[in-house]
Amino acid sequence: MADGREFYDRQIQYLLDGETDAMIDAHYNENATLVSHQNVVRGRDDLKQYFKGYVEMLGDLQVLSTDQFTDTGDTIFFEATVSSALGQARVYDAFVLRDGKIDYHFTGVM
């Protein structure tokens, strides 16, 4: 697997390009789970549906800064400041990886 920063950079680029189906196929295991305080989404098909709506809701997404970043080899944890149609926000995400792909994705807004 590429290092965590490369994985993160590709993940962000997929989102910026609106290529969410390709992102799920490339970065998420078949039964991956996304967990936030608002949602629990399981499996690639449901993740594709979720991320399509998420990117549409955000509109013009911009990553203003990556404020914290930790890569342990099998986890990636970061905080970032983003701007979108919803305004500016600080966000956090944690990926638990198996075989170089996401098994669990925890996400939220601070």
SS3 51: helix
Reported as a single tens digit per residue, the pLDDT across 12-32 is 999 999 999 999 999 999 999
Count of the separate structural domains present in the chain: 1
- Strand order in 62-71's β-sheet? 40-42, 28-35, 101-109, 87-98, 75-84, 62-71
Show the domain range for 24.
4-109
SS3 76: strand
pLDDT of residue 23: 98
Phi and psi at residue 18, in whole multiples of 5°? 70, 20
pLDDT exceeds cutoff 80 at 1: no
Q: Considering the entire predicted model, what is its pTM?
A: 0.94
pLDDT of residue 3: 92
Reported as a single tens digit per residue, the pLDDT across 60-88 is 999 999 999 999 999 999 999 999 999 99
Q: What is the CATH number of the domain that holds 90?
A: 3.10.450.50
Q: Across the chain, what does the average pLDDT equal?
A: 96
